[in-house]
Chains A and B, each alone.
Chain A
């Protein structure tokens, strides 16, 4: 693997992918919080997003003016092709390890 993808980074990338058109700060945070049942700080989330943008896995643009937040626009995020490649590489690695595992992992359910 060329770029190392942290656990939280991967989570953020996949969440953004799952949210599609509606991926912006608050929605990403809420989605992760409800799905993973863990509370994350807004600072940590934006720091991770900034790093993912630096690595070229994400791109962003500002949306139009909104009503509910004092007219301030939202910044939307979208996963880039290299981001897609990174998550899929990460997935295939995991799949490989799953298949290779000598212990029956599915029993853990």
Chain B
């Protein structure tokens, strides 16, 4: 009978896993145990047992230790020594120095690529420091609400303040502080009014949050009504001194506030931003608490301080219970949840947030953009290093012959890359300084960001540069580590597999496609901007000045301003065409109503703006007392299925309880911004609603005209004149394109620079390599131009591929995006594509030619002699 053998597979696994480690005795033990067990059990069970033993050994410390011992033997492969590191750095620096041209290309490319990421890093790291100065920060939670009304769902950072009473019943809550953000007053001073903004807060504010009180008793400062804590800078602004405790502030709206304490300004990274804190009891009783406060809660915030170790999830359950009880009867459902103070500034995008907010999505998009700029730069480095492997192959071959193993070579090249990225980091920080300010002006809430360098951000930058080095260096390092020493020494590098070539070509194409997208966006957005500025809105926008009435009687303004020599006509309106409008409801029957946009105007308005009547006539002069008429647009007729404008005249509609009759029909015009399609609209007439005077002016000299206006305005109102050219105001709405253009332009510049640098490197390298071939061709009679073509055509092809591949993508993208950005927008045309591709190709050809022409022009006698 053949004796049963231990399972081969298990033993093979064991031996493979242990590798070089000495485990002869363990295998022996395993076998011995197997045979012992076999004496009293079936072969199957014995095999099972063997496998179990193998597994138990595989995970045991014994094997780990033996493997470690084996790896640190006399031919150790992974022990790390500082001397070697020093040597690697030395070799790296020598290499950089020796190949200055390529080093400059690499460093410059990486610096450009890293600069945007540095912005992201410093921004995110600063946002992460938000509210880190509160002693209790671990236990501070705010209450956020989600409101469901029908299918609509919206999230708010605010919460009904009446909820505070329920929260106080919850055992694990130490403090609940209510904050109302609406303090926005002007302080009466001798030299004029000074605006002041802040919050109404409860006295226990300081037991939750940590802010420094300089003078006065912070704990009791807010117990009495009409008392206020003022910040240092606000005190200096108003009194020009910090000795202000006990003084009073006179509000312009009436009322006195007594300053009970002075506090240090809150740090920039506080999400609560205020100049004063007013005692909560100052608020009128109505605002403090009413029944419908369960559904109305704008600008009200609840912050809770939990006891140590309390679980917010339990509080969430409690809140769910409360909301289930409270909203059982109502049509609106509201859910509450806790949000930790760390999540307030960077987290979900809530409405009505009290402080600055960076939503996660925006940061992620920024991150993607940064990566799209950085990765091509890394790729350039990878590509160039592998392409130039030949130059290093002797060194590597020698290192390997002398006993260098894979890990060491790998580590050497990673070190080299990290050295380069660290040098590039210095350049990137320089670029970072240059673009930082511009970047901040583009950001929303820029004053809430402090992007200056701190030791911590520097450390992050350093770590980032090392990380970039790892990413950029991993492929060349692997490639070099795998080189066969014999081939390397013979300087015959095979293994330049076609697969690697394909990836490299693919990545180059990707880079150029990216650059192409940026150029195309630039072209399209600039066209869109021009288009919006020159858009025919359907009404006259030139020579029109808007003057805010600011509560002054419209008749008075009209009477005063109509007399001026520069003013031709004056009309009144409730809002500005092309910018904003209000909305109302037309009651069709008992249950159904339609939403319509409206603007209130006077009789002068329609001729003033040159709007065209299709039927009917303007508001009559005598209609002033009772509102009777409306003037509608074409879309209105469409919505009510009226076929011709003439038919519409005389129809009445019930608006806000009044029956209004159509007296005129206007040709469609853009009463809203270009972002929205033209909808149903009518003009109404109600002097009480007027907020703007529209002055048609004729003067060429704007300055004297406005000073004239100011004189006239002084006679009707003590306030400052608020007047502006209508066209300018209209155009301001499209300013975002300027920002967009700047941003796309800058990023595009970076992307193009990086891809051109990459290509330049490759062209230089291949031209150098082909110099002999070129010379021989020339000797044989080839012309300079044919040689230039020969050297350039591969790169030219890559660029064409990039353009061809990116066209369908950009077409789809712009098709969707442009109309989403703005309803009335330009379309992507063939010309855009042609212009962008010509531009990219021209840049590319210039880059290629700068090298290939030089190579092609080289004197064959000189180059051939070099051998």
Contact = CB atoms under 8 A, between A and B. Distances in A.
B32 A69 contact: yes
Interface string A65-78: 01011101111000
A26 B24 contact: no
A42 B25 contact: no
Interface in A66-108: 66, 68-70, 72-75
B65 interface: yes
A26 B35 CA distance: 12
B35 A42 contact: no
Contact of A44 (B33, B58, B60, B63): B60
Given A24-B25, A43-B59, A69 B31 contact: yes
A31 B56 CA distance: 19
Contact of A41 (B32, B35, B56, B63): B56
Contacts of A47: 60-62
Interface in B52-99: 52-53, 55-63, 65-66
A49 interface: yes
Nearest to B29: A25
A66 B24 CA distance: 12
B60 A46 contact: yes
Could you say which of A29, A42, A62, A74 has the most chain B C-beta atoms within 10 Å of its C-beta?
Answer: A42
Nearest to A49: B62
A72 B61 contact: no
B57 A46 contact: yes
B26 A44 contact: no
A54 interface: yes
A55 interface: no
A19 interface: no
B65 A42 contact: no
B28 interface: yes
A42 B36 CA distance: 14
Interface in B13-65: 24-33, 35-36, 52-53, 55-63, 65
A62 to B, nearest CB: 6
B26 A46 contact: yes
Contact of A74 (B25, B56, B58): B25
Nearest to B61: A47
Nearest to B55: A43
A35 B259 CA distance: 84
A42 B61 CA distance: 11
B60 A73 contact: no
A77 to B, nearest CB: 10
Contacts of B27: 72
Given A46-B62, A49-B62, A72-B31, A25 B56 contact: no
A88 to B, nearest CB: 26
A50 interface: yes
Contacts of A73: 24-25, 28
Secondary structure dominating the interface of B: helix
Contacts of A66: 28
B56 A54 contact: no
B25 A62 contact: yes
Given A42-B56, A46-B60, A54-B65, A72 B28 contact: yes
Contact of A50 (B29, B58, B59, B62): B62
Contact of B61 (A51, A70, A74): A51
Contact of B32 (A26, A43, A50): A26
A50 B63 CA distance: 9
Contacts of A54: 65
A68 B35 CA distance: 9
A25 B57 contact: no
Contacts of B36: 26
Contact of B28 (A29, A49, A50, A69): A69
A29 B31 CA distance: 14
Nearest to B24: A72
Contacts of A29: 33
A51 B29 CA distance: 19
Contacts of B24: 62, 72-73
Interface string B642-684: 0000000000000000000000000000000000000000000
Contacts of B60: 42-44, 46-47, 50
Nearest to B35: A68
Contacts of B55: 43
B577 to A, nearest CB: 83
B29 A42 contact: yes
Nearest to B28: A72
B422 to A, nearest CB: 39
Contact of B57 (A43, A51, A72): A43
B86 to A, nearest CB: 32
Contact of B56 (A24, A44, A50): A44
Could you say which of B35, B56, B63, B66 has the most chain A C-beta atoms within 10 Å of its C-beta?
Answer: B56
B33 A26 contact: yes
Nearest to B52: A41
A41 to B, nearest CB: 4
A50 B30 CA distance: 17
A41 B55 CA distance: 10
Contacts of B28: 25, 66, 69-70, 72-74
A46 B61 CA distance: 8
A47 to B, nearest CB: 4
A41 B62 CA distance: 13
B49 to A, nearest CB: 10
Contacts of B26: 25, 46
A70 B33 CA distance: 12
B446 to A, nearest CB: 59
Nearest to B30: A42
B664 to A, nearest CB: 94
A45 B58 CA distance: 13
Contacts of A49: 62
A75 B25 contact: yes
A54 B59 CA distance: 18
A68 B56 CA distance: 23
Interface in A37-63: 41-44, 46-47, 49-51, 54, 62
A91 to B, nearest CB: 26
A25 B28 CA distance: 9
B56 A70 contact: no
Contacts of B58: 43
Contacts of B56: 41-44
Contacts of B53: 41-43
B592 to A, nearest CB: 78
Could you say which of B28, B30, B55, B63 has the most chain A C-beta atoms within 10 Å of its C-beta?
Answer: B28
Contacts of A50: 60-62, 65-66
Contacts of A25: 25-26, 28-29
Could you say which of A26, A41, A68, A69 has the most chain B C-beta atoms within 10 Å of its C-beta?
Answer: A69
B62 A72 contact: no
A72 B25 contact: yes
Contacts of A62: 24-25
B28 to A, nearest CB: 3
A41 B57 CA distance: 8
A26 to B, nearest CB: 5
Nearest to A53: B65
Interface in A1-50: 24-26, 29, 41-44, 46-47, 49-50
Nearest to A41: B56
Contacts of A24: 25, 29
A64 B329 CA distance: 88
A70 B31 contact: yes
A42 to B, nearest CB: 5
Nearest to B5: A70
15 contacts: A24-B25, A26-B29, A29-B33, A41-B56, A42-B30, A43-B53, A43-B55, A43-B56, A50-B60, A50-B62, A54-B65, A66-B28, A70-B28, A72-B31, A74-B28
Given A49-B62, A50-B65, 14 more contacts: A25-B26, A41-B56, A42-B30, A42-B60, A47-B60, A50-B66, A54-B65, A62-B24, A70-B28, A72-B27, A72-B28, A73-B24, A73-B25, A75-B25
Q: Which 7 A-B pairs have the closest CB atoms?
A: A72-B28, A43-B56, A43-B60, A46-B62, A75-B25, A25-B29, A47-B61
